[in-house]
């Protein structure tokens, strides 16, 4: 038997509210993502792309339809089981960095390992490796206020990969950065996809950022409207 897709959505819907106030954010989404893929999700505001990312990251559950991760129907899992799945398999990068202001870069990177209950020595070693991977080994003891926006996003990426996730979910990862820093961050994400085999799912509004992906999926009105592959994929420097 062939291995199941890493991620499969089948007829997934998501409705918020009830009665006349109900809003259907997803209206029957079918989507398959293989290990090692790099997928960019695009679409106008209200198209359902952020809701889809929340479902894919196990931060929300479908109202109907099926979400399978490695063949396991995610909606059949308990809240605690979904939390364990997130901690084991997923890393998250957000537009706003979400770093703790009064803690060092290393302490921020260690947080997912604290939640896992890893011993201090192992946390320290893993955090240092992750910071080195994003080129910030010499900034481990600096707080976010002492770092540039690009450096803060690198810390956020180090925090996302410190658990060695199978999937990196990036929600507008370059939204707060200038053009040069944006492409530096994308080259970093692209390298982790290529060299470590991390599957990347990324929401973006920017076509030049989406060009780093293998596939670009366009959402509109709660469904997948179309998909294309960048004609000339962006290359890491």
Check residue 227 and give its pLDDT: 95
**Residue 14 belongs to a domain:** no
pLDDT above 70 covers a percentage of the chain that reads 97
Tell me, what's the pLDDT at 97? 84
The residue-averaged pLDDT of 34-49 equals 95
**Mean pLDDT of all residues in 31-35:** 96
Q: What is the mean pLDDT of residues 212-218?
A: 97
Could you tell me if 233 and 200 are in contact, meaning their C-beta atoms sit under 8 angstroms apart? no
Q: Is residue 196 part of a domain?
A: yes
pLDDT at 96: 83
Alpha carbons 79 and 56: distance in angstroms, whole number: 15
Structure tokens at 5: 């897709």
Helical ranges in the chain per DSSP H: 49-56, 79-89, 105-116, 120-133, 149-161, 179-196, 207-210
Which residues span the domain enclosing 94?
A: 36-54+88-228
Q: pLDDT per residue over 52-76, tens digit each?
A: 999 999 999 999 999 999 999 998 9
Closest CA to 14 of 72, 62, 60, 59: 62
Please tell me the predicted confidence (pLDDT) of residue 168.
97
Pairing of the two strands 223-228 and 215-220: antiparallel
Phi then psi for residue 236, to 5 deg, are -70, 145
Model confidence over 121-172: pLDDT tens digits?
Answer: 999 999 999 999 999 999 999 999 999 999 999 999 999 999 999 999 999 9
Sign of CA dihedral 94, 95, 98, 103: positive
Looking up tokens 């507008």 gives 172
Residue 219 confidence class, pLDDT cut points 50, 70, 90? very high
| pLDDT score for 3 | 77
pTM for the model: 0.91
Q: pLDDT-based confidence at 180, cuts 50/70/90?
A: very high
Question: Sign of the CA dihedral 11, 12, 18, 24?
Answer: negative
- Classify residue 129: in a domain, yes or no: yes
* Whole-angstrom distance, CA of residue 225 vs CA of residue 102: 43
pLDDT at 167: 97
Residue 87, pLDDT > 70, answer yes
Q: Is residue 28 part of a domain?
A: no
Task: Give the pLDDT of residue 237.
Answer: 47
**Does residue 177 fall inside a structural domain?**
yes
The CATH number covering residue 154 comes to 3.40.50.300
In this structure, the chain runs to a length of 237
Instruction: Count the domains in the chain.
Output: 1
SS3 36: coil
């Amino acid at each position: 038997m062939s291995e199941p897709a890493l991620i499969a959505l089948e007829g997934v819907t998501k409705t918020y509210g009830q009665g006349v106030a109900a809003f259907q954010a997803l209206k029957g989404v079918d989507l398959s993502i293989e290990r090692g893929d790099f997928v960019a999700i695009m679409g106008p505001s209200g198209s359902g792309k952020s809701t889809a990312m929340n479902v894919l990251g196990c931060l929300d559950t479908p109202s109907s339809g099926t979400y399978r991760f490695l063949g396991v129907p995610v909606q059949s899992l308990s809240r605690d089981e979904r939390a364990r799945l997130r901690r084991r398999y997923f890393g998250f990068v957000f537009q706003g960095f979400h770093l703790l202001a009064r803690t060092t870069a290393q302490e921020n990177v260690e947080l997912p390992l604290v939640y896992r209950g890893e011993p201090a020595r192992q946390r320290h070693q893993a955090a240092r490796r992750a910071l080195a991977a994003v080129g910030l080994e010499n900034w481990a003891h600096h707080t976010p206020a002492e770092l540039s926006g690009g450096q803060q996003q690198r810390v956020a990426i180090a925090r996302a990969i410190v658990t060695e996730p199978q999937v990196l979910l990036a929600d507008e990862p370059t939204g707060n950065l200038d053009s040069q820093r944006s492409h530096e961050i994308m080259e970093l994400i692209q390298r982790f996809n290529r060299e470590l085999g991390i599957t990347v799912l990324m929401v973006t509004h920017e076509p030049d950022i989406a060009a780093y992906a293998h596939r670009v999926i366009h959402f509109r009105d709660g469904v997948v409207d179309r998909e294309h592959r960048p004609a000339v994929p962006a290359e890491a420097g």
